[in-house]
Chain A
Amino acid sequence: MPDKPYADPKAPKLTAPIVEHKKHAEEVLADEKHKTKPEDLPDFDEANP
């Protein structure tokens, strides 16, 4: 757990109009920095029956 979780200052408040969330969502998805898989990210594990 990080001590200080990173918050996006551009994210609208939870109570903001839906149109603001839709606009922000498009911006986040278009951001190239979120498209690269971290090199040390593991795959999923086997669960217990």
Chain B
Amino acid sequence: MTYRPTFRKQGDGSRCQWTNCGPASYAMAADRHRRGVDPRTSHGWKPTPPEIRNYVTPHSCGATNLNQLDVATTHMYLVNMDVRYGIPWSSFQSLIISGRGAVVQILYRVIAPTRLDGSPGFTGNHAIYVNERRASDGAYLVYDPLADGRRPGIPKGPQWWPASLLKAAAYAMPGTASGTVNASFTRDTD
């Protein structure tokens, strides 16, 4: 069975919490990459969004991206993920089926009108962690750091997203090559 990491919400009261979608998604991906095994570095285990944030931008709350987060988790947890751009959807599916998790760049405007909206009114660029695909209906188990159930109507924890919704949200990320996905993949843990 595919390893499922601990869910991390970005709205945890820490510094920069509402810009921590990237650190939160990478915290979950690092957990998956190591299948929960502590690398015994000088950093805490399991990974948390504020620890990663403090490494990336210790004195500001600037926006993050896949490359700088990968540098952080490589240093902190010995988790060197594969950051890739312009991956065709069919290949993205294959990478997930092959046994990898992924931090995926999406545009939240696509999610906003749905029951999966974790931040009413937010329509910007966002990071989520995708853990696995369900063969029976093709849905993806998505760990959205905004899905913390903090208010009625906001989902809580990992949710199964229809493939069509995930694909549309990933395609809509600004700066993304037409019909492709930008993502950072864990190692094959299966």
Contact = CB atoms under 8 A, between A and B. Distances in A.
Interface residues of A, number: 34
Contacts of A14: 93, 97, 135, 138
Contact of A25 (B83, B86, B98, B178): B98
A38 B100 CA distance: 23
B80 interface: no
Nearest to B11: A49
B98 A42 contact: no
Contact of A45 (B84, B85, B124): B124
Contacts of A8: 88, 90-91
B67 interface: yes
B97 A21 contact: yes
A46 B19 contact: yes
Contacts of A18: 97-99
Contact of B65 (A22, A34, A43, A49): A43
Interface in A4-37: 4-8, 10-12, 14, 18, 21-22, 24-25, 28-29, 33-37
Interface string B111-154: 00000001111101111000000010010000000100000000
B64 interface: yes
A24 to B, nearest CB: 5
**Chain B, interface size: which category?**
35 or more
A21 B85 contact: no
Contacts of B85: 34-38, 41
A47 to B, nearest CB: 4
Contact of A47 (B97, B119, B177): B119
Interface of B: 10-11, 18-19, 21-22, 62-67, 82-91, 93-95, 97-100, 105, 108, 118-122, 124-127, 135, 138, 146, 167-168, 171-180, 182, 185, 188
Interface of A: 1-2, 4-8, 10-12, 14, 18, 21-22, 24-25, 28-29, 33-38, 40-49
